Amino acid sequence: MTRSFNGSVADGRVLVTGDDARHIALSLRMRVGESIIVCREGIDYLCELESITPDAVEGRVVSSQPCEAEADIRLHLFQAVPKGEKAEIIVQKSVELGVYDITFMLTERCISRPDGKSFGKKLNRYNRIALEAAKQSGRGIVPEVRGLITLEEAAVEASKSDTVVWCYEKGGASFGSLGLKSGTDIALLIGSEGGFSDGEAEKLMEMGMKPIGMGKRILRCETAPLAAASIIMNLTGNM
């Protein structure tokens, strides 16, 4: 069923405008009496359409319930900026897997080192990708994509979570040893193509953040966050 994140809900009524209204009216050619789901803050509103134009779509709320596709954890992904189009893959697939938000950071071994202005332009595209991935996967929210920040800033932000997971190619504890629980905030830090430098690893450990190993194989920087997110979702009962 068509999902819209661009709608307002009030007093049992819904109003959808912008791109979603045009899509419903012109691309999907939906008719009065058909239904859509309007997503607001993790709640799915099943709505029957009563008026359809390219500028505005109106309807009534038939029922509402928490989105079943949303995880009961908040998984915050802090990803070192990768080169090329890898960032787009990471955004799309991590949204499908259920991450709560994505923050890109610059680390010592990042090959791609965009400045704030050029990265700001990319952020618009990344957030559009997140929106489309949220619709496709039935999410109840659209994870926000942010950046750029330093590793130090990311570590401070990550420390606010109940558990911090940072993946280290030189090994570390297992995911199973973390005792991950549902209903918690979990921060996941992933390095760039060259991983974290020795100095960065020392800083993270000095902050009390223990490294996590990803097995005996070295994963690509676009594979590691997806593997880690899948493991975390599975261990917390969200897969």
AA identity, residue 142: V
Q: Are 4 and 142 in contact (CB under 8 A)?
A: no
pLDDT tens, residue by residue, 7-27 = 999 999 999 999 999 999 999
Average pLDDT of the residues of the chain: 94
Is 65 exposed, middle or buried, given 0-12, 13-18 or 19+ CB atoms closer than 10 A?
A: exposed
> Considering only CA atoms, which of 188, 176, 186 is closest in space to residue 215?
176
Residue 95, exposed/middle/buried by CB under 10 A (0-12, 13-18, 19+)?
A: buried
Contact 61, 13 (CB under 8 A): yes
CA angle 212, 215, 221 (to 5 degrees): 75
144 forms beta bridges with 101
pLDDT at 220 over 80: yes
CA dist., res. 210 & res. 216, Å (int): 18
Per-residue pLDDT reduced to its tens digit, 193-219: 888 999 999 999 999 898 999 888 889
Please give the pLDDT value at position 210: 87
Contact 49, 36 (CB under 8 A): yes
How large a percentage of the chain has pLDDT more than 70?
100
Per-residue tokens: 45: 């509103």
User: Other C-beta atoms within 10 Å of 69: how many?
Assistant: 18
Is pLDDT of 169 > 90? no
DSSP H helical segments within 138-236, as ranges? 151-158, 198-206, 224-235
Answer for the pair 146, 103: CB distance below 8 angstroms, yes or no.
yes
Residue ranges of domains in the chain, CATH in brackets: 3-66 (2.40.240.20), 74-235 (3.40.1280.10)
Q: How confident is the model at residue 82 (pLDDT cuts 50, 70, 90)?
A: very high
The 10s digit of each residue's pLDDT in 41-79 is: 899 999 999 999 999 999 999 999 999 999 999 999 999
